[in-house]
Amino acid sequence: MKEGRTNTRRWFLLSLRVVLVIGLLGCAFVLYANLAARRAGEGLLFQDVAAVPAKPVGLLFGTTDKIGERDNLYFNYRIDAAVELWEAGKVECLLVSGDNREKYYNEPNKMRDALLKRGVPKEVIVRDFAGLRTFDSVVRAREVFRAPAVILISQKFHNERAAYIARHQGLDYVGYNAQDVSSNLGFKTRMREIAARVNMWLDIHILRTKPRHLGDWEYLPIADHPLTPPSAQESPRAAQ
């Protein structure tokens, strides 16, 4: 009887050690994925619009414009950042990429409408309706829209993840960080971001994920775009 209790105790301690080791390895992996995204943005994400290197395409990441009855500040601040880049002459066009899976939910249209209200010309706004998540938006910017280089437009924590994806896609990028949301309002978003960065790493290095929707090349109103007709080689920005 005593020997049986001893064996049970040994198995319990062994199991506990295995669980602890797995837990520590899991925590280390989560930390690594999050630090990898942060490193991808080092020196390439900017807070001051004047310091942002000009690129032909501003890639604006979608989110809902409303949370219940109130405005979504993440959406508003991203629109502010995109307008600042356009007015500063840092981009030739804005590629607004978001989710449009449901009949009454259309992030690209909401972003386009908000930009138009702020004075951005209609002809320089291109909508990507298949940007179902950040990974899809970045890959499609390169493979479908053939963007030669982009300015990532979102909050810093989101731009860091997008930067990691862009780097591994071979996409020339910098980022312009939209104003962040206060820690109280943004806490849940930050917690989701930790998991999103783990998923980011798995998508790229393990799962070899592809966007849900790809397809034929699509036109961007920028100079020297592969689909630009010879009669329209000058971008709208350059023509102003």
15 in a structural domain: no
27 in a structural domain: no
pLDDT at 183: 67
Number of structural domains (the chain) is 1
76 in a structural domain: yes
CATH number of the domain enclosing 146: 3.40.50.620
23 in a structural domain: no
User: To 10 degrees, the CA torsion angle through 151, 55, 47, 112?
Assistant: -50
Kindly give the confidence (pLDDT) of every residue in the chain, 240 residues in length, as a single tens digit, with 9 standing for 90 and above. Answer: 556 667 777 787 777 788 887 878 879 888 999 999 999 999 999 999 999 999 999 999 999 999 888 999 999 999 999 999 999 999 999 999 999 877 778 999 999 999 999 999 999 999 999 999 999 999 999 999 999 999 999 999 999 999 999 999 999 999 999 999 986 766 788 888 999 999 999 999 999 999 999 888 899 999 988 876 554 445 556 445
pLDDT at 224: 81
Residue 119: give the domain boundaries.
Answer: 39-239
217 in a structural domain: yes
213 in a structural domain: yes
State both tokens at 95. Answer: 């590629």
14 in a structural domain: no
Print burial letters for 64-78: b (CB count within 10 Å at least 16), e (below 16).
Answer: ebeeeeeebbbbbbb
pTM of the prediction? Answer: 0.88
pLDDT at 11: 82
> CA dist 73 to 12, 78, 85, 86, 158, Å?
50, 8, 18, 20, 14
